[in-house]
Amino acid sequence: MRFWDTSAFIPLLVRQSESATAIAWMQEDDAVVLWTLALVEAVSAIRRLLREGALDESAARSAEQRLTELLPAVHAVVDIERVKATALRLLRVHPVRAADALQLGAALEWSEGQPAGRVLLTFDGRLASAAQREGFTVLPVP
């Protein structure tokens, strides 16, 4: 079981340069853990790609449909208050944005504060660095 940052999950929904890596990660271990607000981040990312012209409306709707189909099979970290408290600490010690601090806070909640031996998947360099400093294993991106 691995924690998936939204940046790692989006390439499963939308063809991107990272899609082959994300698919390989999913084939290695399909037990996905997501932050409960990853749905909001994913729809935001899909709609941003639409606005930027990287997707058309049909592709965006298809990606959102795939997301809806995948969500029942994932494990979600839902304790918002504990994740929020951890995210505030993370913002003080790592150069990450609020959404990344919440993702990392959710991963720490999932790991019950014991990240050693747990894997966090991300394509975000700042989040990867912070996650490693917190003790997570972050798989290298080929």
Contact 105, 38 (CB under 8 A): no
Q: What kind of fold does domain 2-138 have according to CATH?
A: Rossmann fold (3.40.50)
* DSSP letter assigned to residue 116: T
- How does pLDDT run across 105-132, given as a tens digit for each residue? 999 999 999 999 999 999 999 999 999 9
Average the pLDDT over each of 69-73, 84-88, 92-96 and give the range with the smallest value.
Answer: 69-73
Q: Binning pLDDT at 50, 70 and 90, where does residue 141 land?
A: confident
Q: Binning pLDDT at 50, 70 and 90, where does residue 5 land?
A: very high
Per-residue model confidence (pLDDT) at position 122: 97
pTM over 0.85: yes
Alpha-carbon distance 95 to 101, whole Å?
A: 9
Domain boundaries along the sequence of the chain: 2-138
